[in-house]
Structure 1
Amino acid sequence: MSSPTRPLDPTAFRSALGRFASGVTVVTYRGPNGPRGLTVNAFCSVSLDPPLILVSIARWSRSHDLVVDQPFTVNVLKPEQEALAKHFAGIADQVQIPWYEGQASPRLYGALVQFECSPWRTYDGGDHSILLGQVIDLQVSEGDALGFFSSRFIPIARPIPSQPTLPFDPFELPYDA
């Protein structure tokens, strides 16, 4: 593989990545002194069978060594949980954390979705570690999602019921379209 002719400017690269709208999650896990968490927007599905998801955790994060190879829960946040997202990103004052215990790891009460995972694999992702978790339990509630776009939190509204849905599941296409 050939290398680029000039190195990428890290600030420009980060800014370009910020143009991809994503949901906001808090990864929760059991630390040595109780439940802990960190805000993560690098989260996606990997496999339906077995049910696998991934999160990307910065190696410099204080949580990195505590969450690798441990059970964890990915809590998909609602817009009214923006203060939690900021708290677990280290950019807000203390807030009351609505913890409760899942099967193997702590969860955040009121999250839109909770994917509780057992560790599956960990991969090198440069300055991040890519954690694959096998989903062992999930909880889904109603509401809108909290998003992140261009360095700002945004609400992601549920579709209006009268809007047409796709006549197929785009994740089940047998070929590249």
Structure 2
Amino acid sequence: MDTSDVSTIDPGHVGEADKDRFRTLSSSMAQGTAVVTAIHQGHDYASPVTAYLSVSYDPPTLLISLYADGRIAEAVESADRWTLSLLNAEQKSVADWLAAPGSPLHGLLRPVPHVRPRPGAPVIIDKALAWFEVETTAIHPAATHLLVVGEVRAMGRTVPPDAVRHPLLRFDGRYRRLD
């Protein structure tokens, strides 16, 4: 193994160069892109995420990682339920819109095709590969983020399973598609 390109990090002092190096190296992880939605103070909140995972199938449990100071983190923390919609490769514009700095709070989802499965439920993104409605069971602070764990209470698709097969991936700082 060539160790000429190794960085060590002093746990007592993580510098800007360490943070930049970590961002660069961690962008080498291919990650699926999803949208988290929640209702907070009567408004729909939504944000794209790439840090999520299936924790267990018995009971069905998911985990998402949210920037603790973000408005979606506040919304998810205050709501008892949230949804995770897994985006397909044709939904890059949805991820871009929801990730744009300064996006409006009121009317945020107006340009995004979505459905509300029932009154009072968080919305799901239309044409997503799959969606999960989740009830929060635990929230754990982790550095600058919150790890939100929840049990799945409803799940499904808004399109037939064979209609869309390509997930929207994030790799090397850009959205990609799996071909």
The answer on whether the counterparts of 1:102 and 1:116 sit within 8 Å (CA) in structure 2 is: no
- CA RMSD in angstroms, aligned pairs only: 2.2
* Cα distance in 1 between the residues matched to 2:78 and 2:41: 14
The answer on whether the counterparts of 1:120 and 1:132 sit within 8 Å (CA) in structure 2 is: yes
Counterpart amino acid of residue 117 in structure 2 = G
Aligned to 1:148: 170
TM-score (norm 1): 0.79
SS at match of 1:111: coil
The answer on whether the counterparts of 1:25 and 1:77 sit within 8 Å (CA) in structure 2 is: yes
Aligned to 1:98: 113
Q: Pick the aligned partner of 2:126 from 78, 101, 109.
A: 109
* Cα distance in 2 between the residues matched to 1:101 and 1:5: 46
Structure-to-structure mapping, 1:154-169, within 5 angstroms: 154-157=176-179
Structure-to-structure mapping, 1:19-168, within 5 angstroms: 19-70=28-79, 71-90=81-100, 96-102=111-117, 104-140=121-157, 141-142=161-162, 143=164, 144-157=166-179
How far residue 80 of structure 1 moved from its aligned partner, in angstroms, is 1.1
How far residue 57 of structure 1 moved from its aligned partner, in angstroms, is 0.3
TM-score (norm 2): 0.78
Counterpart amino acid of residue 80 in structure 1 = E
How far residue 62 of structure 1 moved from its aligned partner, in angstroms, is 2.0
List runs of 5+ in structure 1 lacking aligned partners. Answer: 158-177
* Cα distance in 2 between the residues matched to 1:11 and 1:132: 28
SS at match of 2:59: coil
Aligned to 1:174: none
* Cα distance in 2 between the residues matched to 1:6 and 1:32: 39
Aligned to 1:163: none
Counterpart amino acid of residue 89 in structure 1 = A
The answer on whether the counterparts of 1:107 and 1:114 sit within 8 Å (CA) in structure 2 is: yes
Q: Which moved more, 1:83-92 or 1:129-138?
A: 83-92
